[in-house]
Amino acid sequence: MNELTLIIPAKNESESLPEVISELEKFNLNLNVVLHESDIDTIKSIEKFNIKIVYQKNFGYGDALIEGIKNCNTEYFCIFNADGSFRPEEIELMKKSINQNNLDFVFGSRYQSNSGSEDDTIVTLVGNYFFTFLGNLMFRLNITDILYTFVLGKTKLAKKLDLSQKDFTICVELPIKAKKNDMRIGSSSCYERKRIAGKKKVKAFKDGLLILIHMFRLYFK
């Protein structure tokens, strides 16, 4: 899939990222790893791979995605986690969903048929259902997992969205702005594996409050 680039935001993922890249090498994909130059351990862990590294100027998950999309030159992009929780074989299924359903963006979902998660807790499960319900109610998104960051879409359209959130709230900013700009979005079943190493970067209650505030800002904007 030479027309597609994987954007892999990474922070303190020296244990998991080499395994992720090794697995992805079988799929003939363009890889853009996005990280900060201060993350020396992660940089050293992937030196042996022939991949593009995009250095983000600031910090934050959203900032990494914005830099990754800005530096993407293929027709499609796909956000792919550095922790080993995403399954590479699902990328092709998401791409087929884009083409077969005439979509601009497809959002991976752990909460529909033939999907699931090995990494959900009761807190994240309830939070995901709540924010997905709220997003569908407020913006008519018609997706089933608003907080899952496995996303595949058209690069040119993503660059038109003027994404600005530097933190995890970008996960709701992307589908909401796409919908408000009359772009076609949908969901594709995915299965989330346990991460290879390390801990989740998301802080459930703090990030949940920030997401809620940002959703209302976008609603009244």
Surface-to-core class of residue 122, CB atoms within 10 Å of its CB (0-12 exposed, 13-18 middle, 19+ buried): exposed
Query: Quick one: pLDDT at residue 91?
Result: 97
171-184, pLDDT tens digit by residue?
Answer: 999 999 999 999 99
Query: Quick one: pLDDT at residue 137?
Result: 98
Residues 106/187, Cβ–Cβ less than 8 Å: yes
Residue-range domains of the chain with CATH: 4-220 (3.90.550.10)
Quote the mean pLDDT of the chain: 95
Query: Quick one: pLDDT at residue 182?
Result: 97
Encode 30-56: b = buried (16+ Cβ within 10 Å), e = exposed: bbbbbbbeebeebbebbeeeeeebbeb
104-144, pLDDT tens digit by residue?
Answer: 999 999 999 999 999 888 988 999 999 999 999 999 999 99
In this structure, the number of other CB atoms found within 10 A of the CB of residue 180 comes to 13
186-210, pLDDT tens digit by residue?
Answer: 999 999 999 998 777 778 889 999 9
Task: State phi, psi for 90 to the nearest 5 degrees.
Answer: -80, -15
Query: Quick one: pLDDT at residue 203?
Result: 80
d(CA 7, CA 22): 15
Q: What is the pTM of this model?
A: 0.94
From the list 212, 134, 169, the residue with the least C-alpha distance to 62 is 169
Query: Quick one: pLDDT at residue 117?
Result: 96
Q: Answer whether residue 81 shows pLDDT above 70.
A: yes
Query: Quick one: pLDDT at residue 205?
Result: 86
**Which residue matches tokens 């003027």?**
162
CA trace torsion 95, 173, 66, 48 (10° rounding): -50
